[in-house]
Amino acid sequence: MSSSTVEKNYALSRDRYAEAGVDTEDVLAALGRVSLSLHCWQGDDVEGFEKSRTGHAGSGLAVTGGFPGKARNVQELRQDLHQAFSLIPGCHRLNLHAMYGEFEKGPVERDAIEPYHFRGWVEWAKQEKLKLDFNATCFAHPKAASGFTLSSRDRDIRKFWIEHVKRCRKIGATVGRELKSACIHNIWIPDGSKDLPFDRWTHRALLKEALNEIFETEYSPSQLKDSLESKLFGIGSEAYVVGSHEFYMGYAMTHGKILCLDMGHFHPTESVADKISAVLQFSDELLLHVSRGIRWDSDHVVILNDETRALAEEIVRGASLDWVHLALDYFDASINRIGAWVIGARAVLKALLIALLAPARALRAAEEAGDGFSRLAAMEDARDLPYGAVWEQFCLRSEVPAAGRWIDDIKEYEKKILLKRQ
């Protein structure tokens, strides 16, 4: 579609939204301030670049599929990320895991990693005009084979992982200082039991003790922000997860940390969207990992479905865009990995756009007047408003392809780059 056609369609849509009391220019400005944090691990199937890493089924991760051309080293991953970011409108972030450092001089144990192992990522982020977030990697390692890390009964195992997370926080603070944007350091651990435990208390007490030790070192919030991510169950921890939602919510609220809600880490009948306004009554910030669960698997590519739209609606309706951090978290090796990044990011941005374009004034007035009929009717009519033309305008202003052409760009990259990797 030509730029002149996009402009023409946008002008018509702008007028239509104006009739509904919505200023599309204000909406585009608000959407332009949103920064998604893309997950690096989609690009290489959560393998990382540790030369001697040993995976374990008990890590709670399973990537399916074998699409050709996955990134095999840091350079290829950065190349693929550059391609992905070029097709996502707006200015965004990259979310790194500790196992993605540059260890050219040989394997480095996780309790010995240093900021200089990620110096190359910082320089690359500066060139790409990106900011970085960071994650401790407490899985896929021999010292995670028992199914317990920070909550292990083995003092030496626990000490190893505590030191690892301490070093990851130091790296995150360094990244945040270098890039002049607070780095969110997120902790997720696979700790739990495949079958029914006798004692649920002890591991949670040990995890609390470990977190207290980890957070003894304080960093400026302008450099580092800490978040804690729960899970309902994982592979190898179906019966008991130490870091449950209730555990981390309690810890975050009493220790000034950010709670991370992953859309795929709750029961299928639970609404993560409904939790947002509840958590933000008691916390200044919230981290959301946007994923898509299907049956037991929580890590499918995000699409513009009801759950994603509901999430965006709750963020926007609660005026929480400035307090909610949005990150993608899924991995799919059955399709083009770059395409998976772009589909998910564009879906989240579209969901936010639709939410921002809702005739909020009319809907709020109807609700406050107790007019349930008018509220529901207006919600239904809002579904017919032409958000697609506004989305195309956002892409045009971001110098990013809109519908159709971005798919061709990925297929061309696949042909020229990915299929040639052996």
Structure tokens given for 269:
């009948």
Which runs of consecutive H residues, i.e. helices, occur in 86-118?
none
Q: Is 329 marked active-site? A: yes
The single residue of 111, 128, 213, 297 carrying the catalytic annotation is 297
CA-based nearest residue to 305, from 339, 362, 344: 344
Q: Is 229 marked active-site? A: yes
Q: Is 124 marked active-site? A: no
Residue 149 CB-half CA count within 13 A: 30
The single residue of 44, 178, 226, 229 carrying the catalytic annotation is 229
The single residue of 70, 289, 325, 350 carrying the catalytic annotation is 289
The single residue of 188, 341, 391, 406 carrying the catalytic annotation is 188
Separation between Cα atoms, residue 47 and residue 402, nearest integer Å: 32
The β-bridge relationship of strands 240-241 and 192-193 is antiparallel
Separation between Cα atoms, residue 41 and residue 356, nearest integer Å: 30
The residue type at 149: T
The single residue of 44, 50, 299, 307 carrying the catalytic annotation is 299
Q: Is 262 marked active-site? A: yes
The single residue of 56, 141, 225, 231 carrying the catalytic annotation is 231
Structure tokens given for 56:
């374990």
Q: Is 188 marked active-site? A: yes
Residue the block writes with tokens 């095999």: 72
Residue the block writes with tokens 């030790």: 213
Helix, strand or coil, per DSSP, at residue 120: helix
The single residue of 329, 332, 392, 414 carrying the catalytic annotation is 329
Give the angle 177-178-180 at the CA atoms, nearest 5°. Answer: 60
Q: Is 289 marked active-site? A: yes
Rounded-to-10 torsion of CA 254, 260, 265, 270: 70
For CA atoms 334, 70, 301, 416, give the dihedral sign.
Answer: negative
Separation between Cα atoms, residue 370 and residue 374, nearest integer Å: 9
The single residue of 265, 300, 325, 350 carrying the catalytic annotation is 265
Q: Is 70 marked active-site? A: no
The single residue of 262, 285, 332, 414 carrying the catalytic annotation is 262
Indicate which residues carry an active-site annotation.
188, 229, 231, 262, 265, 289, 297, 299, 329
